[in-house]
Amino acid sequence: MPKALITGITGQDGAWLAKFLLDKGYEVYGVYRRLSTPNFWRLQALGIMDKLTLIQGDITDLSSMLRVIQQVEPDEVYHLAAQSHVGWSFDTPIDTIETTGLSTAIILEALRLTKGHEKGVKFYFAGSSEMFGNTILNHKGKIDESCPFMPASPYAASKVLGYHLTRIYREAYGMHAVVGMLFNHESELRGLEFVTRKITNAVAKIKLGLQDKLHLGNLDAKRDWGYAPEYVEAMWLMLQSEKPDNYVIATGEAHTVREFAQLAFDEVGLNWEDHVVVDKSYYRPRDVANLIGDYSKAERELGWRPRTTFKELVRIMVRADLERWQKWLRGEPIPFDAPYAEPLKVKK
Ligand code: NAP
Ligand code: GDD
C-alpha cells in the first residue's frame, strides 16, 4: 500500500484528497496543527476520520517536519497547508510568507535530509493561479504555464517562492517535485471566508428567513471556478507522471462574482439585487481582475479535464447549504460545525 502524507488535511483540498487517495488504496497520513478547538469537520463530513492517521506537526518548524517524515516514511507528500486567503495576506504578510512560502523550504529540506530524493519520494506543491496575477495572457486570451508571474499580493508572492523552491529541488537534487498551478476550485466543503461559499451560505439562510442582506466587495472580479474533487485528482495525476513538471489546472471559463451571486440566488427563486450590498470594506488593497486558465497541457500529458460546469457547481453548493440549514432548523445533528463559525467582521 503506498503511503501519502498530506499537510493541510483539515482544509477543503486536504479533505477531498485524503478521500480520493483512500479510495485508491493509499495509507493516508495527515499533518494538522495544534489548535485549542479541533477542526476536523470536513474529514467527519466525508466519513473518513477513522480511516486516516493524523499527526500533530508544525509546518514552519524543521525539527517537527523531520520527525513527521521519519515517522511516516511517505512515498508521496502533498504540501497543501497554507494561509490561503488572499485578502487576509495583506493584513498578515509575514505570517503568510512563513506559512505559505517558507514552509515549502522546510518540507523540501526535511525530505532532502532524510534522503527522500534518493528513495524516490514524490513531492507536490500547491501552487496557485494567483502567482500569475494580472499577467500577459497567451494567444487564446488565457493563462498557461508559459505566462509570466506577476504576483499581486503577499499570498501570491509566497506561492511564487514555493514554486521556485520546488523547481530548484527538482533540478538540483533530482527530486520528483511538481507544482500544480490550480485556478479557483470550490465545493460544499469550501471555507466560509471565500466568496463562493459566503454567497451560497447566505443564499440558503436568506431563503429560509435567517438572514436578509449579503455584503460583498468587488463584484467585477472574474474567476475560473471549478469543482474541487476533480482538482485533487489532478494533483495525484501529476505525481504519477514519469517526468515531474508543472501544470495549470482550470476549466477554461471565467465568470464574475456578480454572475456567481446571480446564479446562486436564481437557484432558490430570489433576485440577487434585493439582497446584495456592495461593501467597500471587503475590497482588497489590490485585486486580480481576471483569472482564466488554459489546461491544454494537463489534458494532453495527464489526460485531465474538468467535468462539472459552472452552473452545476453553483447548484451543488447552494443545495448543500440549504440542506445544512434546513437540518439545523429541524434540530437535527449535522456533522458540520463550520457553518455557524462565520467570520465576524472585525475592525482593521
Ligand atoms: P484551506 O481550506 O484554507 O486549507 C488550508 C489548510 O492549511 C488547512 O488545513 C489549514 O489548517 C492549514 N494551515 C493554515 N495555516 C497553517 C499553519 N500555520 N500551520 C499548519 N497548517 C496550516 O485551503 P484549500 O482551499 O484547501 O487549499 C489548499 C492549498 O491549495 C493551499 O495551499 C491553497 O493556497 C492552495 N490553492 C487553493 C486553491 C483553491 O481555489 N481552493 C487554488 C489554488 C491554490 P487549519 O484547518 O488548522 O486552519
Ligand atoms: N473572500 C471574498 N469575500 N472575496 C470577495 C468578496 C467577499 O466578500 N467580495 C468580492 N470578492 C472577490 C475578491 O476580491 C476576489 O476578486 C474574488 O471575489 C475571489 O475571492 P476569494 O473567493 O477570496 O478567492 P481568491 O480568488 O482571492 O483566492 C482563492 O483562489 C486562489 C486561486 O486563484 C483562494 O482559494 C486562494 O488560496 C487560491 O490560490
Q: What is the pLDDT of residues 91-123, one digit of tens each?
A: 999 999 999 999 999 999 999 999 999 999 999
Distance (angstroms) between ligand 1 centre and the Cα of 83 equals: 6
Question: How far is 183 from 129, CA to CA, in rounded Å?
Answer: 5
Pocket test residue of 131, 194, 222 for ligand 2, highest count of atoms within 8 A of CB: 194
Residue 159 CA: distances (Å) to CA of 98, 290, 343: 11, 18, 24
- Range 3-186+225-249 classified under CATH 3.40.50.1820: no
Q: What's the gap in Å between 175 CA and the centre of ligand 2?
A: 32
The pLDDT of 296-315, averaged and rounded, is: 98
The CATH 3.40.50.720 domain(s) of the chain lie at 3-186+225-249
CB within 8 Å of 123: residues ≥ 6 apart: 76, 77, 79, 107, 108, 111, 116, 166, 169, 175, 176, 177, 178
The predicted structure's pLDDT at residue 347:
52
Q: pLDDT band at 336, cuts 50/70/90?
A: low
* Residue from 80, 183, 337 to probe ligand 1 pocket by mutation (most atoms less than 8 Å from CB): 80
CA 195 to ligand 2 centroid distance, Å: 6
For the record, the C-alpha cell of 167 comes out as: 523547481
* Beta strands 222-223 and 255-256, pairing class: antiparallel
**Alpha carbon distance, N-terminus to C-terminus of the chain:** 49
Q: What is the pLDDT of residue 181?
A: 98
C-alpha 140 – ligand 1 centre gap (Å): 30
Residues 6+ apart with CB under 8 A from 101: 157, 158, 159, 161, 162
Instruction: Give pLDDT, residue 329.
Output: 87
Q: What is the spatial distance between Cα 139 and Cα 144, in angstroms, rounded to a whole number?
A: 10
Ligand 2 pocket, CB under 6 A: 84, 86-87, 128-130, 183-184, 193-196, 198, 216-218, 221, 223, 257, 282, 284, 287, 291
Query: Helices 154-173 & 103-113, crossing angle to 10 degrees?
Result: 20
pLDDT at position 201: 93
Q: What percent of the chain has pLDDT over 70?
A: 95
Ligand nearest to the CA of residue 12, numbered in listed order = 1
Quick check: pTM over 0.95? yes
User: 17-36 pLDDT, tens per residue?
Assistant: 999 999 999 999 999 998 88
Q: Which ligand is nearest to the CA of 90?
A: 2
Question: What is the pLDDT at residue 335?
Answer: 57
pLDDT at 346 over 90: no
Range 77-81 average pLDDT: 98
329 contacts: CB under 8 Å, gap ≥ 6: 208
Check whether 345 has a pLDDT greater than 70: no
The ligand that comes nearest to the alpha carbon of residue 218 is 2
- CB-based contacts of 50: which residues, under 8 Å, 6+ apart? none
Residues of the chain with CATH 3.90.25.10: 195-223+254-287+309-339
pLDDT at 313: 98
Q: Annotated catalytic sites, by residue?
A: 128, 130, 155
Q: Phi, psi at residue 65, to the nearest 5°? A: -70, -30
pLDDT tens-digit series, residues 213-246: 999 999 999 999 999 999 999 999 999 999 999 9
Superfamily of 195-223+254-287+309-339 according to CATH: UDP-galactose 4-epimerase, domain 1 (3.90.25.10)
